Structure 1
């Protein structure tokens, strides 16, 4: 019999964070035909922030918005025979799966419920500590000898009672989820699986891929990456959004990826839901939170150096050119530990001589703490100046900037002295000082440190669990059948070319470049791209040294930069190692997730060839004229 290739599988995303409402799951089921709904509810921090309450029994461990979505969607999923695969089980996938199973039975629906576990390694935390200290388990960035880890990043190993681990979860791949689907599960609840793993599993199940179908798996992996952040690909967090009327970006719907048997995919959305899917929104999301041109999952490596992104039709974007390779023998292990206490104070200054005012206030605080013999006992004491006062202001707000005093210490009593120091000089302040908030933010609060490690996949007990009326049937999955050691990441500057691009003018880089940035633990990634006509200039202009220059006073000599190119989409990608410290849970930066970094870089003025700006202006005018004015109404289930 002739083998028939299945049509592409339609996989709809319903969440990119715990804050995404349950109605998104329902909308993806209701407003069109899809085969599978997947949801990514877990950031690195929200597992850790719930861990201690879950251990005490005061938190169920799963994500409440995921449960809300399931309650709204089970009936229509049953009616349309839509599979649901989500990581909303958080710390307790078994608990959410059993709660879902009970609701299925109560409703009399024919839906089989399963869950995946094996990511939570808190039961072997002492062994983990031993293996990290002995070098058996290493920091995610430790293999690169150019990268310096921030001070105190390993202090929790030497003080396990003072700085106990509260959460340790390995990033699981697609294979257990696929086995659930192969065993006819309709609802699969996961804990800490990698963000794209549900999409890879759905495509692998649909197309009956084998573990060594690396290129199709890699294509689905990138497809999962493209839709995992919900509205980030339908108009949110989009560098080019200012070109659109505001009404076009209201009531954003969530994306769908159609994955073919080859792994090539098309990104789209339901026509009835708001938002846009364009080449630009897809490129921006592709460049979000990458490690470089080799993208890693515990089941496959995706080489995206030759990725190509083209418009198929309105709100349909085709993604091709991805090549897959065997996965690494290790996977990421996210470890969170009690790192001490932190607090912050916000102060405002208006009008004249702002720099002098902030110099004066910082010196007052530091001298007071030094006189009390406490200054050297802070782990972090940072005086951050936010904003620039408008010259010749028309309002007081436009003349106002603020200082954010951020502090961390292992000792609660040390940190408490910061508020006392502020109070002691409360009436000795500079002209016009006023508070942004009351002093509650200055009260020391516990915070978590983050240590991203690698762990051999052979040490995990990843398992499939199928719930039926009388029992839970459990099947161990085991590690990937074939792995390849990781090679050093590519890192290169462009070859110098002699071509002249004509006269230049100082303009914001964002006049010709779009892009996106995000966090990877301690690091910030930055992807920028231009149109084809400006590519040769742009790739030779955007060197590693240029990024350091554009960062200005934010650049520190101990940071390290990696650079690669993606020629077919005219993109240059960077990873800047170090700026986020120990990650979002403890970063001293105001932008602890690095989301605003690309927009900052795009605002810096650089010498741009005039000919590219002229084309940019013409393209923008043509684009704006093509937009239809007027409000758009959308109906959503609530």
Structure 2
């Protein structure tokens, strides 16, 4: 029997805990250490870096981590696979070789190319973006590891590919090993966001001792030859691994039950979870299907410039003050921006015993193609109201210049149009062929017009009910994919899960979350996980970089939904 492959994670985003690489290398045995540094917003940031200096475009913090830990990784025989190459994986690979030479560490470095489609954007019908990166699969990473690479640097591969690639190299999977590949995709999806799988951002955080969650360790997966795995963490580290933490991450930023990628479609409705001891959860039963003929492309474009001012309104006659502020400020603007968005944060308690409790924040955001329209003249107009405005006038920050913002969009191109090249440690180049057998993903919509999905649900429950917040019976995690928000909701019993699936219809979601009124809402049941996944298209506008929403990445929408009150069967309470 081939021993399980132990793969850890040390980064969930560009800016994650710097010490995590050392913690994972020193905390216990590992075969591979991965790090996810990329997101749609990160590629925009790296694109602006590259525009200023073509030698940039990669996650520079990773170099700092390697300066501290590359020798340690080589000494312990741990191979490193990261997507920190961003828009310039060859540049980062070269910098790593230079670093290894300076440190006297015998580390071989390989990298992946082909995801950057910017030079061909017009040819492929992608317009004129700042960045255009296709999501590559895992087989190039496997080629690099088979060639002896100690470090593999990639650009925009799928997040899960960082885990799938080492598993392919270890177990010799081919394109037809769909179930095994799908199982590794699921393991990679759980690992990719670091401490979110070990107790971070957990909606039931208060059910664990405070000190246990103060510094959660990072996760690792013990992957078997059939693609099943055990999710765990190094012994003695903080945090917790249980069905809640694993379910929360499984539901994070997904759509329907078919989770598509360039190598395989993983069926999230086939996932089975089982306790496997303290801080150990076994994932098995994952079925895989043929990948789609197209792959996703992340496009970032400069959308214009933005600025904002926030007025503080306090105390007496607070209901009348917003209209006064809006009228006075808009009349004072030297030029009206293309978009002017007002939002109010807080309610201002009557008879409050603190000034903060008696106050609300009134925020005005401006977006415009011209930096001058939303520059200092915009914020300066607010300052000029200081002695001529509403009683109690003050702002949360001094005036400032505007800043550029980006717009993320997703496109799809045939996999056959995307080069996928593994550049091995000796400099030789291996072309990775796209999958030969593909099939379009056919996801069943669960919108209110879908009789198959919603017509058979019933909210009728025998027995008494009680008005209570949804959080009394459910847990949640939410996130973003561009302008789309997803909310994963799960229960701890089969009965409560069935009630969730029957109750949270698209129309009911719109009632509970009025900000979703008029937007497309899909609700996907995942019975094996005792969960449903809610997808709200357009809730986040044009994505985090351009969003004017209070919570631009939708990270807290799940917590808002859990706080909403509805009639819940007492048997589940």
Shift of 1:112: 2.1
Shift of 1:424: 4.9
User: Quick one: structure 1 residues 251 and 517, their matched pair in 2 at CA, closer, same or farther if it must change by over 3 Å?
Assistant: same
- Of the three residues 227, 250, 265, the one matched with 2:229 is 265
**Corresponding position: 1:550 with 2:505:** no
Query: Tell me, which stretches of 5 or more residues in structure 1 are unaligned?
Result: 133-156, 158-163, 614-638
Matched, 1:589 2:549: yes
Residue 94 of structure 1: aligned partner: 90
Please point out which of 540, 552, 566 is paired with 2:502: 540
Shifted more, 500-509 versus 261-270: the winner is: 500-509
Q: CA deviation at 1:280?
A: 0.5
Structure 2 counterpart of 1:501:
462
1:18 aligns with 2:36: no
Query: Structure 2 residue aligned with 1:458, among 408, 411, 416?
Result: 416
Query: In the alignment, which residue of structure 2 is the partner of 1:278?
Result: 242
Offset at 1:58? 7.4
Is residue 440 of structure 2 the alignment partner of residue 485 of structure 1? yes
Q: Measured at CA, do residues 612 and 167 of structure 1 come closer, stay the same or move farther in structure 2, by a change above 3 Å?
A: same
Q: Is the 8 A contact 2:329 2:381 kept in 1?
A: yes
Question: For residues 109-120 of structure 1, what are the structure 2 equivalents within 5 Å?
Answer: 109-120=105-116
What SS does the aligned partner of 1:439 have? coil
Contact 2:309 2:382 in 1 (8 A): no
What residue number does 1:136 align with?
Answer: none
Alignment partners' CA distance in 2, 1:226 and 1:21: 18
Query: 1:439-485 deviations in whole A, cap 9, x for unaligned?
Result: 12xx22211122211111111121111233xxx21112121222112
1:531 to 492, 496, 510: 492
Larger deviation: 414-423 or 447-456? 414-423
TM-score when scaled to structure 1? 0.85
2:511 touches 2:517 (CA, 8 Å); kept in 1? no
Alpha-carbon shift at residue 107 of structure 1 (Å): 4.1
Q: CA deviation at 1:49?
A: 1.4
Measured after TM superposition, the shift of residue 490 of structure 1 is 3.7
Q: Does 1:330 align with 2:278?
A: no
CA contact (8 A) 1:22 1:72 kept: no
1:184-223 alignment runs, 5 A limit? 184-223=148-187
Aligned partners of 1:60, 1:530: CA distance in 2, in Å? Answer: 45
Asked if structure 1 preserves the Cα contact closer than 8 Å seen for 2:129 and 2:300, the reply is yes
Task: Report the alpha carbon displacement of residue 22 of structure 1 after superposing the two structures with TM.
Answer: 3.6
Question: What corresponds to 1:139 in structure 2?
Answer: none
- 1:70 pairs with 2:70: no
1:303 aligns with 2:267: yes
TM-superposed deviation, 1:514: 0.2
Distance 2:524 2:319 in 1: 39
Residue 576 of structure 1 pairs with residue 528 of structure 2: no
Q: CA deviation at 1:340?
A: 0.9
Aligned mate of 2:562, from 593, 596, 602: 602
Determine which of 117, 120, 129 is the counterpart of 1:121. Answer: 117
In the alignment, is the contact (CA less than 8 A) between 2:352 and 2:358 conserved in 1?
Answer: yes
Q: Could you tell me how far 1:429 is from its partner in structure 2?
A: 2.0
Cα distance change, pair 544–94 in 1 and its aligned pair in 2 (3 A): same
Query: Is residue 174 from structure 1 mapped to residue 170 from structure 2 by the alignment?
Result: no
What is the alpha-carbon distance in structure 2 between the residues aligned to residue 555 and residue 490 of structure 1?
Answer: 17
Contact 1:215–1:324 (CA under 8 A) maintained in structure 2: yes
Superposed CA RMSD in Å reads: 1.9
Quote the Cα distance in structure 2 between the aligned partners of 1:196 and 1:597.
25
Superposition map of 1:146-545 within 5 A: 165-369=129-333, 374-375=335-336, 378-416=337-375, 418-440=378-400, 443-468=401-426, 472-491=427-446, 492-493=453-454, 495-497=456-458, 500-532=461-493, 533-545=495-507
Deviation at 1:179? Answer: 0.8
Aligned to 2:449: none
| Superposed displacement of residue 599, structure 1 | 0.6
Do 1:50 and 1:59's aligned partners in 2 also have CA atoms closer than 8 Å?
no
TM-score with structure 2 length normalisation?
Answer: 0.94
Deviations 1:351-406 (A, max 9, x none): 2332321122123333445xx6x44xx33211100112234322111222101111
How many angstroms does 1:108 deviate by?
4.2
Which digits, 9 at most, give the CA deviation of each residue in 1:153-187, with x for residues without a partner?
xxxx5xxxxxx522111111101101111212121
2:10·2:33 contact (CA, 8 Å) conserved in 1?
A: yes
The change in CA–CA distance for 1:114 and 1:237 in structure 2 (over 3 A counts) is same
Residues in 1 aligned to 2:479 and 2:177: alpha-carbon distance in whole angstroms: 30
Using the TM superposition, give the Cα deviation of residue 550 of structure 1 relative to its aligned residue in structure 2, in angstroms. 0.7
